[in-house]
């Protein structure tokens, strides 16, 4: 998938200085507004401040050294970062619109990019981006009705730095519990593989057991508390908490916000629309609490602006 920025968005920043960012071994080039990038986080500020300003060079030659190279990052991941940088409030809408048009394979590639985006945001300490990537992942899994896969778990517990992946792991473990306790084919497939996974990754087993303990303590039912569902508030009635997770459960600031509003609410562009609950939840809802059976779950998916600046190509 390629996100391309057309001239309208560049024009809206006309007059400000730009910086070239080369990403990956192939050095895919992104031309971005210096101030926008610097203002996003200390990582970019530090690295870009070290680049000589083109306006200070003779003849204003912009080719002179105004380049930042990130050799170890994936260009497709960085492209998602650029999308977020320029279209922060519409980020989830763009991802949502993209998944509607994409083939299943393309959706999986998008998922991989979002995971790498989340990890990169952890590395450069950019919590707002982490949380936007987390939201987009949850929404994508909900929209496409995906379960957690053994391969994804093996990646998170085998290949990733534990600190950088801590929030992805927390979410993936909740997804694993929910998948394993489902009654569908995927649950059977996963159950057959889980012992091998636990043997290979003891941290996964420990996190999984802790998740089950905490869920039991909160008197939630792991079969119906769906980690794909990000409920639109942190202050929820106990009935609501049964079926999904608080808005900020997998966010970077989870411990500090309590039952208050998500500090990124505006930047994340949360405009609330309702989407139906997936079938498994409906069935169990009806069994557990008839009054909730026809309830719609609200998900922060905004409207896509037809005159948006970014095009999919």
Instruction: Report the nearest approach of Zn ion to the CB of residue 199 (Å).
Output: 35
Residues 83, 175, 262, 298: which binds Zn ion (CB under 5 A)? Answer: 262
Instruction: Yes or no: say if 85 and 21 are a contact pair by the CB < 8 Å rule.
Output: no
Q: How far is the CB of 253 from Zn ion (least distance, A)?
A: 6
Which among 35-43, 51-59, 173-181, 261-269 is the span making contact with Zn ion, rule CB under 5 A? 261-269
Residues in the interface with Zn ion (CB under 5 A) total 3
Segment near Zn ion (CB under 5 A); pick from 18-26, 149-157, 247-255, 272-280: 247-255
Strands 67-70 and 18-23 turn out to be: parallel
Output 136 or 197, the one with its CB closest to Zn ion: 136
Contact yes or no for 284/231 (Cβ under 8 A): no
By beta-carbon proximity to Zn ion, the closer residue of 131 and 285 is 131
Least distance from Zn ion to the Cβ atom of residue 262, Å: 3
Residues facing residue 311 across a β-bridge: 4
Pick from 246, 255, 251, 274: which is nearest to 264 by CA?
251
Q: What is the largest CA-CA distance in the chain?
A: 74
Report the residue from 79, 251, 281, 302 that binds Zn ion according to the rule CB under 5 A: 251
Other C-beta atoms lying within 10 Å of the C-beta of residue 283: 14
Least Å distance between CB 261 and Zn ion? 8
Of the candidate residues 119, 129, 248, 277, the single one contacting Zn ion (CB under 5 A): 248
The CB-of-213 to Zn ion minimum distance in angstroms stands at 24
CA distances from 100 to 93, 128, 150 (A): 11, 25, 25
Question: CA–CA separation, 44 vs 274, rounded Å?
Answer: 37
Binding site for Zn ion (CB under 5 A): 248, 251, 262
């Amino acid at each position: 998938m390629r996100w391309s920025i057309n001239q309208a968005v560049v024009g809206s920043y006309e007059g400000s200085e730009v910086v070239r960012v080369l990403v990956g071994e192939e050095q895919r080039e992104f031309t971005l507004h210096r101030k926008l990038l610097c203002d996003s986080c200390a990582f970019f500020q530090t690295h870009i401040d070290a680049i000589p300003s083109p306006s200070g060079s003779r003849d204003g030659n912009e080719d002179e050294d105004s380049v930042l190279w990130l050799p170890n990052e994936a260009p497709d991941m960085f492209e998602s970062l650029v999308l977020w940088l320029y279209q922060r409030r519409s980020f989830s809408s763009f991802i949502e619109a993209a998944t509607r048009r994409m083939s299943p394979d393309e959706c999986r590639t998008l998922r991989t990019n979002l995971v790498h985006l989340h990890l990169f945001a952890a590395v450069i300490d950019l919590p707002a981006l982490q949380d936007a990537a987390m939201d987009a992942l949850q929404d994508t899994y909900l929209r496409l009705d995906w379960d957690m896969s053994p391969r994804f778990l093996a990646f998170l517990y085998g290949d990733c730095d534990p600190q950088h992946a801590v929030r992805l792991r927390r979410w993936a473990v909740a997804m694993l519990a929910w998948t394993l306790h489902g009654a569908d084919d995927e649950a059977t497939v996963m159950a057959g593989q889980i012992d091998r996974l636990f043997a290979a990754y003891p941290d996964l087993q420990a996190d999984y057991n802790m998740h089950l303990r905490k869920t039991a303590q909160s008197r939630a039912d792991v079969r119906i508390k769906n980690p794909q569902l990000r409920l639109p508030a942190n202050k929820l009635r106990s009935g609501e908490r049964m079926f999904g997770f608080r808005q900020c459960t997998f966010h970077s600031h989870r411990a500090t916000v309590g039952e208050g509003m998500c500090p990124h609410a505006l930047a994340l562009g949360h405009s609330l629309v309702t989407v139906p609950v997936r079938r498994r939840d409906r069935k169990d809802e009806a069994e557990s609490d008839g009054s909730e059976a026809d309830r719609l779950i609200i998900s922060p998916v905004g409207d896509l602006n037809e005159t948006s600046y970014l095009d999919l190509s």
